Amino acid sequence: MLTERQQEILEHAITIISEKGIQGLTMKNLSKRLGISEPAIYRHYDNKIEILLSLLDYFTNSTSGIFNDQSLSHLDAVERLKIIFNKHIEALEHTPALVAVIFSEEIFRNEAILSNKVKLIMERNAASIAAIIEEGKQKGELDLSIDTQQLTTIFMGSLRLLVKRWQMCNFDFNLKQEGDALFGTLNQLVNYKS
């Protein structure tokens, strides 16, 4: 559980990364933004890597409930996937600056501990989605001929590309509306009968 000060540090770190990129996240910039000394930050985080790990944990904790709820849900598979899709959009709409952290693997590439953490998060999320797809196939809700891993990649990749485009457009379009349209198209593709 984060302390109030740790939460405040993370919020300012997200803003700095969003405005200046990962290179802009320094203890000096963070201390200026917070209006506290650098040693005061070190009482809460040992270094920048620890802050970034905490940011990844923050996002994972805020979205893990989405996957847990849907893994236990009795709704059909498509509806459960739609809820996961929409809840992620809502979380990112609530904190747009987080997009710069979550969808910027280049931030983590040169730090093994960070890249491993991102890999684990992606694998866990993909496994949750694949399990819902498999269950939907077994219940006859999804076409058995559709490859589960490919559909998982399409689902995750579509969400990622939409959010990345939103970020690159300076958040100037309605993410929820675009997300609804995109999921509608994904649903049509999954339910297409030749």
Instruction: For 44-88, write each residue's pLDDT tens digit.
Output: 999 988 998 898 888 888 778 888 888 888 899 999 999 999 999
Q: Enumerate residues 6+ apart whose C-beta is below 8 A from 150.
A: none
What is the extent of the structural domain holding 58? Answer: 4-190
Predicted TM-score of the model (pTM): 0.85
Task: Give the count of beta carbons closer than 10 Å to the beta carbon of residue 83.
Answer: 16
- For the segment 104-116, what is each residue's pLDDT rounded down to a tens digit? 666 677 788 888 8
Per-residue CA distances from 99 to 1, 27, 62, 159, 160 (Å): 22, 21, 14, 12, 10
* Residue 166: CATH number of its domain: 1.10.357.10
Specify whether the CB–CB gap between 58 and 48 falls below 8 A. Answer: no
Structurally, the chain folds into a number of domains equal to 1
